[in-house]
Amino acid sequence: MIIQVQDLIKAALQDIGAIGKNEPITASDANDALQKLNFMIDAWSVRSLMVLGAIMESFPLTAGQGAYTIGIGANFNTTKPSKITDAYVRDGYNIDTPVDVVGQDEYDSYEDKIISQARPIALYYDPGYTQQSVQTGTIYLYYIPDASTPYTLFIGQQKALTEFSAITDTVTFQSAYYEALEYNLAVRLWPQYHDSGKPVSADLHGLALESLNVIETMNTRIPKAAIETPGRKTIYNIYTGEYQ
């Protein structure tokens, strides 16, 4: 099914009784609803279970360089991710080795951050300030890659969902998202078309929550159990019953 943004907006306005079935949308209402729809999509972007999978990209590493900016026009020239979920490095012999994605506390605990000892084993991602004229983050590697062999860093990233630029845009979300877009937009538009303090109807609120649950259930990833041992992180695979 192919639908446009204006179809979502019309359905949402009908859901809250703002327009009739055959009533056209005013330009003012359409522009306001488009803005709120984009605000909602931006908010979904930082909810892991609202995003289907991670985007994997690869970037060459430079010998002796341990920090790389990421963003449009940065060292890694791509849209800045909100989160890096996983990573690995590929050496000149096409051998892939996992890289642990660690938090700031763990990265700060490393005593010698400038050591150059061949293959990186850990990565810390700093997304940078919330407000930036050009959105850029920084990836810190430990160890710093040396010159013995070329390395390529592969990173799985959670990125912002794409906003709509016009009401005539085609909706490119998977079909499972259609109801969530419609009903949750309706909830956001409700206060503008009803008396102050009047709550959202229970039916509409329920449909909005149920549609979000459908998406989050679809996007749920079953984690592997991990056991921390000194100097090593051991992963237990619940499917094979083996440690990795």
15 & 61 share domain: no
78 & 128 share domain: yes
pLDDT at residue 136 above 50?
A: yes
Residue 227 lies in a domain: no
The total domain count for the chain is 2
39 & 97 share domain: no
136 & 172 share domain: no
Out of 140, 160, 180, pick the residue that ends a domain. Answer: 160
Out of 123, 141, 160, pick the residue that ends a domain. Answer: 160
Per residue in 219-239, pLDDT (tens digit) is 776 655 555 554 555 555 444
81 & 140 share domain: yes
- What is the SS3 assignment for the chain? CCCEHHHHHHHHHHHCCCCCCCCCCCHHHHHHHHHHHHHHHHHHHCCHHHCCCCEEEEEECCCCCCEEEEECCCCEECCCCCEEEEEEEECCCCCEEEEEEECHHHHHHCCCCCCECCCCCEEEEECCCCCCCCCEEEEEEECECCCCCCCEEEEEEECCCCCCCCCCCECCCCHHHHHHHHHHHHHHHHHHHCCCCCCCCHHHHHHHHHHHHHHHHHHCCCCCEEEEECCEEEEEECCCCEEC
pLDDT at 235: 52
pLDDT at 156: 92
Residue 226 lies in a domain: no
Show the domain range for 175.
5-50+162-219
The most confident of the ranges 10-14, 62-66, 213-217 is 10-14
pLDDT at residue 62 above 90?
A: yes
pLDDT at residue 100 above 90?
A: yes
pLDDT at residue 240 above 50?
A: no
Residue 225 lies in a domain: no
Average pLDDT score over the chain? 86
126 & 76 share domain: yes
